[in-house]
Amino acid sequence: MNQFGVYSEVGKLRKALVHRPELSLQRLTPANHDDLLFDDVLWVEHAQKEHDEFVARMRERGVEVYYLRNLMAETLAASPKGKKAIVYRVVSEMTVGVALVDELRAYLMAMEPDTLAQHLIGGLTKGEARELFATGPLGHVSLIAATESENDFILPPLPNTLFTRDSSSWIYNGVTLNPMYWPARHLEVFNVGLVYHFHPMFRDAEFAYWYPPLGDDRRFDLEDFGKASLEGGDVMPIGNKTVLIGMSERSTGQMIEQVARALFAGGAAERVIACHMTRDRAHMHLDTIFTMLDRDAVTIYPKVVNRITAYSIRPGDNEQIFDVTQEKSFLDAVQDALGVKKLRVIATGGDEYQQAREQWDDGNNVVALEPGVVIAYRKNTYTNQSFRQAGIEVIEIDGFELGKGRGGGHCMTCPLLRDGI
């Protein structure tokens, strides 16, 4: 069996990457939560209990669950090259200023691996680095050191790391490192890239990098994230050499073409279905309004899904061009790609008001552990009832705090190894 690779959306989930709520979410305040893409501050201790329950339910079904912070700490301990690469990437003249860059790099390089991993995700304030500022007259040589307050961030917190789905996407026998849309999320990809490049478990494994070519994330330094962005909540390898990719608030046509070209050249896929969606915070990714439940069953939020325009992209005469065909409807295209006689479509439950509420609370954002078995937030009672009436086993977890970032079980998991169907 391959060590890594995702060959469907509902085949047996064997390995998954998650991030437990901790320091980065403790940084959220009423003043900054909007900029950090959360709808409110979280009761972090309760969010941890909810997340622990989520992980426990996966492990009970045989899923190997890995924590990102742990993998980062192991990588930093095992690879001095990797440690230097990540520190020098996130600490530059453009992020901390000319006069502070060398001092801060040396300070971080001297940190213990787990502490450094914590701050790469959770951020670092000037007050927390007071040892650095106490060692010399930095305030006289660095404008940043002179003007920043004790509570200003030298390294920014990355609270959306909770949603590990987005920073990378495993598609069949390879992975993309994703240039994400909002500045609040740009640095997340470097943390996961550190693990994929330098952790022994990944370093010695065989898999392809669909984007960037050869996994060279230095390319991100030269590219505009906003013009060509991709997030994992839009990416779904559904099997039969087909991939769905949402063309959404967060993922652009430019990146869909980049990924399609690499998949076709590598023989991993023969069809990419681009799903052109309306742009809205309530449905920023495809997986907020559409996920798979079984080999022939999907859940949708009709108000948005019925307005998706789908385009099938297939290889053209050379690698630089494609055969692009507009489909009759998105769901017809999915049914055809799956090769099923009749796609079972289970809408968000309840009346129009209840559907809007439960979509907002991630009722359609469920993660399958195997065909016909999903994890869902307990609060989405109407939608979960509809799943059960259709023969789907629903494993419920609390999500009162976790859901404040607008993500459910699908968002909070990055599948590393999943069977085909």
Would you please indicate which residues are annotated as catalytic (active-site) residues? 411
**Distance (Å, rounded) from C-alpha 273 to C-alpha 313?**
6
Q: Which helix (H) or strand (E) holds 414?
A: strand 414-418
**Distance (Å, rounded) from C-alpha 68 to C-alpha 52?**
14
Alpha-carbon distance values, 46 to 26, 69, 276, 398 (Å): 12, 19, 36, 10
Rounded to a whole number of angstroms, the CA Rg of the chain reads 21
The answer to whether the CB of 215 falls within 8 A of the CB of 192 is no
Residue with tokens 């998706």: 308
Q: Positive or negative CA dihedral for 332, 333, 336, 340?
A: negative
Nearest to 417 by CA among 65, 1, 6, 60: 6
Amino acid identity at 384 = N
The answer to whether the CB of 83 falls within 8 A of the CB of 76 is yes
**Distance (Å, rounded) from C-alpha 14 to C-alpha 37?**
30
